[in-house]
Amino acid sequence: MGWLDRVDDQVDALTQARALQEASRSAEAYTVLERVLATTTDPRTRADALVQRLSALINLGRTAEFTRAIEEASAAVRDLAEPYLHGHLNALAALAAHHQGALDRCVTHLVKAARALGAVEDPDRDTAWGWHDLAMAYSYLSFHGYALGAIERARQLGLAAGIPEETFAAPGIRLRNAVALDHNGDSDGCLRVLRDVATDLGRFLRAGRASQLRPSSLAAYGYAAARRAALGDRLETDSEADPARLLAHGGDSARARDMRDLGQVCLAIAAGRPIEAVARLDTVRVSSETLGAAEGARLRSIALSRAGDHAAAHRADRLAFRLAAQRNDRLRDVYIDGIAARIDHEEMRREAARYEGEALTDPLTGLPNRRRLERYIASVVSRGEPVVIGVCDLDGFKAVNTRHGHHSGDLVLQRIAGVINRVMRRGDFVARYGGDEFVVVLPGAGMAEAAEVARRIGAAVAGEDWEALVPGTPVGVSIGFAEVSGTGATLRDALSIAFEVADREMLRAKTRPRAS
């Protein structure tokens, strides 16, 4: 009988993979899960394995594989009436979207995960881990209050299922809360939280339960102690709480690796070796997602201040503050865009009802489709208003589909739709014309205003982090504009001519040299 021939063997393998991930041995877990997927035909087993595999890829930091893994897991889970699997998958997808810089998708997955996990009628060990992963996603997105609530839910469910309390200690959640306070200028608040984290570790040590802590938790306790020392706090002399010793844990977790590297910077500062700390910062490469984009700049500021270079320290501190503010700005934009999209959706729903259910919306992007676009332009021109139309065609989109698949292509189209909508003027109209082509309509505008809109769209698209979403395949946009003139019987001809002119201008734009 071959490996994993029986269902019992497959269940045992999934349990083994889960235990390996809990022990921060995600590379080994990934190998086990690949074997399960190569042999199983059971839909429930396959879905569980694919969700676990996504978790392993996230732990290993293999960003380029996230999109395909989510697509495969989603297809496997879709038809299963398993709220836990839907909730866990969405929690992991939120983490993946966060790593890819897609905060709008991240927030959507967070909401879906919380609803699905909350709908589980008989919570068990797996449900507890789903809430744990949701707490991690909240934490990385800086929703610290939600993260604390979710991890407490995980802890309660875990205790009921026989999981020790220390398994869900999750010091990383409070650690990220602490450094966020410091990035925003509240160093006293940061120290208070870090001291609470140390008290928590001390409680486990005194009870003899520290050996039950997950390796990733030990690494987070280590960084919390090192960070306190960098801020000038005196540490306990207990060897078991020694930050260097704790930082050595974490297994193959990419986040634990980041904390080890930055922890050594903190310890160099605490030991009075600030120049060494700066040199280490110049060589380490850590993800901005682990402790926030501002952490490296903040540590550089502390080190330079200890070295006596206060001017450079001030510049680094200002950079840290700007980087921290950027996250808040992006979250605000996601919130505002979400409200705007909801309003637009309601308006489109009411308008669609007037046409007795006629489809006027593109299902992928949520934008008006070609039919609604043509009606809108006709209504504007028939009122005698001047109007300019622009044809926007994506550059590099074929390479995205070829290299990453159509699911990634759909994500790019959704992101582009949001970017264009965000930079348009009040009263402008955006539609998906078909494929990777979008049309913008500028009522009451001339070609001068159109040129400014084109500049804003181009700059916004260029400013997106496409490398995080579709690595190695940059995305751009070419735009051509034309004025529409004509009314009455000549309206259809006028629209056709304007589209032809705009399309030629767009093709001409594709051939122009781009700024490097």
pLDDT in tens, 67-94: 889 899 988 988 787 788 888 898 888 8
Cβ atoms within 10 Å, residue 19: 12
pLDDT for position 514: 59
Please state, for a pLDDT cut of 90, what percent of the chain lies above it: 38
The Cα 488–Cα 502 span in angstroms is: 22
Instruction: Say if CB 327 and CB 293 are below 8 A apart.
Output: yes
Using alpha carbons only, what angle is made at residue 59 by residues 221 and 324, rounded to the nearest 5 degrees? 65
Please state, for a pLDDT cut of 70, what percent of the chain lies above it: 89
The Cα 17–Cα 27 span in angstroms is: 10
Check pLDDT > 60 for residue 485: yes
The Cα 149–Cα 87 span in angstroms is: 16
- Greater pLDDT, 514 or 209: 209
Check pLDDT > 80 for residue 342: no
Q: What is the CA radius of gyration of the chain?
A: 26
pLDDT for position 353: 55
The Cα 151–Cα 223 span in angstroms is: 20
pLDDT tens-digit series, residues 189-232: 999 999 999 999 999 998 888 888 888 899 999 999 999 999 99
Most confident of 5-9, 404-408, 450-454: 450-454
Q: Report helix, strand or coil for 302.
A: helix
pLDDT for position 398: 92
What is the token pair recorded at 492? 């259809």
pLDDT for position 103: 72
Burial category of 23 from C-beta neighbours within 10 Å (exposed 0-12, middle 13-18, buried 19 and up): middle
Query: Cβ neighbours of residue 386 under 8 Å, at least 6 residues apart?
Result: 443, 444, 445, 446, 483
The Cα 438–Cα 417 span in angstroms is: 8
Instruction: Say if CB 231 and CB 191 are below 8 A apart.
Output: yes
pLDDT for position 346: 59
Q: Report helix, strand or coil for 477.
A: strand
Average pLDDT over residues 282-290: 87
Q: What ranges do the domains of the chain cover?
A: 169-358, 364-511
Kindly report the average pLDDT of the chain as a whole number: 85
What backbone phi and psi angles, to 5 degrees, belong to 397?
Answer: -70, -35
Instruction: Indicate the range of 26-30, 282-286, 335-339 predicted with least confidence.
Output: 335-339
Check pLDDT > 70 for residue 27: yes
pLDDT for position 4: 44
- Greater pLDDT, 236 or 118: 118
The Cα 370–Cα 379 span in angstroms is: 14
pLDDT for position 356: 42
Architecture per CATH, 364-511: 2-Layer Sandwich (3.30)
| pLDDT confidence band for 332 (50 / 70 / 90) | low
pLDDT for position 18: 85
Check pLDDT > 70 for residue 351: no
Most confident of 23-27, 151-155, 250-254: 151-155
Q: Report helix, strand or coil for 78.
A: coil
Closest CA to 373 of 444, 432, 418, 420: 432
The Cα 421–Cα 461 span in angstroms is: 11
pLDDT for position 392: 95
| pLDDT confidence band for 364 (50 / 70 / 90) | confident
Closest CA to 169 of 154, 182, 179: 154
Residue labelled with tokens 């292509």: 409
pLDDT for position 133: 85
Cβ atoms within 10 Å, residue 103: 19
Instruction: Say if CB 504 and CB 477 are below 8 A apart.
Output: no
The Cα 30–Cα 34 span in angstroms is: 6
Instruction: Say if CB 390 and CB 483 are below 8 A apart.
Output: no
pLDDT for position 516: 45
pLDDT tens-digit series, residues 290-320: 888 899 999 999 999 999 999 999 999 999 9
Instruction: Say if CB 481 and CB 445 are below 8 A apart.
Output: no
Check pLDDT > 50 for residue 504: yes
- Greater pLDDT, 47 or 495: 47
Check pLDDT > 80 for residue 361: no
The Cα 64–Cα 467 span in angstroms is: 9
